[in-house]
Structure 1
Amino acid sequence: MKVQFIHNFSANTEEEFSKIQNSLGKNIILKNSFNIKDIKTCAGVDLAYWMKDEEEYATCCIVVIDYNTKKVIEKIYSYGKVNEPYIPGCLAFRELPLIIKAVEKLKIEPDIFIFDGNGYLHFNHMGIATHASFFLNKPTIGVAKSYLKIKETDFEMPEDEMGSYKDIAIDNEVYGRVLRSRSNTKPIFISCGNYIDLDTSTRIIMNLLNEESRIPIPVRLADLETHIVREKLKNI
């Protein structure tokens, strides 16, 4: 799969990161660029980290499934040294180089990418799912297991029933949604990445759930794959 390069990764300060995020943020489109009936494939994206010789490494794993049958049809990974420090809210600058490297290996071009992380639910509306969308030129969704608190705004817990949700509004703008993907479990936090609206994002995530996990199938499979690959690479 081809990737379009929007910017390089030579920036290394929080101020430079923020400038890039604000510039890209002007081009976010929270509307569907597709018909949901046409979705055939969906990719889950996740990364895992480890230390070696006092240097940080990571692997990015992508698992592509058939949207209807939920069967795995492709899985690939990339790995390498992580060159950027961890700065809250700037995760994309650490992860995108490896994500791009992995995406370029895909033989199948997924219709939707779902990331383990945020999208529009971010202080600059530029979580990993949104930022990556500009390189992938594909609809993206962010699914986070924990809440990124913005402007000291807390979320309202949905009812303990699968499919229940509460929108997360900050300064009268909806940033994302807290969704009960299973009863008797912690909720997940979903947000648009780009080229998609929140209701459609919710519908897609609900279609990709099963009894094995509170996170959608492709993201869970990508997460499991990162642990397998990391263990293999740590000892090289």
Structure 2
Amino acid sequence: MISIDKDTLDSLLEKFRNEQQTLLPEVKLKNIFLTEKLRLVAGVDTAYWDAKDKTYGACCIVVIDFITHEVVEKVNSFGVVTIPYIPGFLAFRELPLIMDAVKKLTKQPDIYMFDGNGYLHHRHIGIATHASFYVDKPTIGVAKSYLKIKDVDFTMPDNHVGAYTDILIDNEIYGRTLRTTKSVKPIFISCGNWIDLETSTDIVMRLINKESRLPIPVRMADLETHVVRKKLQETL
């Protein structure tokens, strides 16, 4: 539904690439927190739809207790989206909605999990990494499908819970293919920022239950976007 001309698109791409290149040196794949002090984890997801010649988006954030897995808070935001979907630049489309939702939180998450990639990205600045500079918290990327980079395929992990294979591109680990549930498709996790891959894996696995291959905060945020989108579609 969003249509822009080639010159405008080229200008946006140059601006977006420059911002990603500026942020990349500030990305730190190491922990700035103690796992034993982790209490609140937020899951973030965004959904879109077209109506009346406009594209709308809704962002949902679900905060859960890391220990009990109970929902602590749910918030959402919605609005007209003006940036088209451009592969590799998802953050520029989603961040306005995400930050509108973040501002509604009354609880302060210790970590944010995003339905998408982080360091596992062509320029290492996926939505989870990019958003870290806005939410000012450690972040983890959790993707349901694989983003192929430089024509490198992932290696399927063994068929047992917790099995994983690292995604190695040009001798650098971009992320991890993780089997969270036996005999179910793996997920693809990557550091967002201010966290290492081992800790990201541990946190994800500790938030898996029998209901889904996805960690609880991401799954619940995804489910919430369907509910919110349906309600908004009926009113807009």
The two structures share one fold, judged by TM-score above 0.5: yes
**Alignment map for 1:135-154 (pairs within 5 Å):** 135-154=134-153
The runs of 5 or more residues in structure 2 that have no matched partner are 1-9
Give the distance between the partners of 1:99 and 1:137, measured in 2 at CA.
13
Give the distance between the partners of 1:147 and 1:19, measured in 2 at CA.
25
**Preserved CA contact (<8 Å) 1:12 1:84:** no
The aligned amino acid for 1:84 is I
Give the distance between the partners of 1:151 and 1:39, measured in 2 at CA.
35
Give the distance between the partners of 1:167 and 1:49, measured in 2 at CA.
31
Q: Which residue matches 1:53?
A: 52
Q: Which residue matches 2:7?
A: none
Q: Which residue matches 1:159?
A: 158
CA 1:161/1:105 → structure 2, altered by over 3 Å: closer, same or farther?
Answer: same
CA 1:83/1:183 → structure 2, altered by over 3 Å: closer, same or farther?
Answer: same
What CA deviation, in whole Å up to 9, does each residue of 1:175-200 have, x standing for no partner? 00000010111000000000000000
Alignment RMSD, CA only? 0.9
The aligned amino acid for 2:195 is I
Verify: 1:69 aligned to 2:52, yes or no: no
Give the distance between the partners of 1:191 and 1:50, measured in 2 at CA.
27
Give the distance between the partners of 1:105 and 1:12, measured in 2 at CA.
32
Q: Give the fraction of aligned pairs with identical amino acids, expressed as a percent.
A: 60
Residue 99 of structure 1 and its aligned partner are, at CA, apart by 0.2
**Alignment map for 1:193-212 (pairs within 5 Å):** 193-212=192-211
Give the distance between the partners of 1:87 and 1:225, measured in 2 at CA.
24
Structure with the largest fraction of helix: 2
Secondary structure of the residue that 1:131 maps to in structure 2?
helix
Moved over 4 A (4+): none
What CA deviation, in whole Å up to 9, does each residue of 1:100-119 have, x standing for no partner? 00001000000010000000
Q: Which residue matches 1:37?
A: 36
Q: Which residue matches 2:184?
A: 185
**Alignment map for 1:9-28 (pairs within 5 Å):** 13-28=12-27
Q: How many pairs align?
A: 226
Give the distance between the partners of 2:226 and 2:32, measured in 1 at CA.
33
The aligned amino acid for 1:145 is K
Give the distance between the partners of 1:193 and 1:160, measured in 2 at CA.
26
What CA deviation, in whole Å up to 9, does each residue of 1:151-170 have, x standing for no partner? 11111110011100000010
Give the distance between the partners of 1:14 and 1:151, measured in 2 at CA.
19
The runs of 5 or more residues in structure 1 that have no matched partner are 1-10
Residue 12 of structure 1 and its aligned partner are, at CA, apart by 6.0
Give the distance between the partners of 1:140 and 1:50, measured in 2 at CA.
26
The aligned amino acid for 1:221 is M
Q: Which residue matches 1:6?
A: none
Give the distance between the partners of 1:118 and 1:78, measured in 2 at CA.
21
Give the distance between the partners of 1:124 and 1:226, measured in 2 at CA.
28
Give the distance between the partners of 1:206 and 1:121, measured in 2 at CA.
19
> TM-score if structure 2 supplies the norm length?
0.94
Give the distance between the partners of 1:87 and 1:73, measured in 2 at CA.
33
> TM-score if structure 1 supplies the norm length?
0.94
Residue 90 of structure 1 and its aligned partner are, at CA, apart by 0.4
Give the distance between the partners of 1:184 and 1:195, measured in 2 at CA.
32
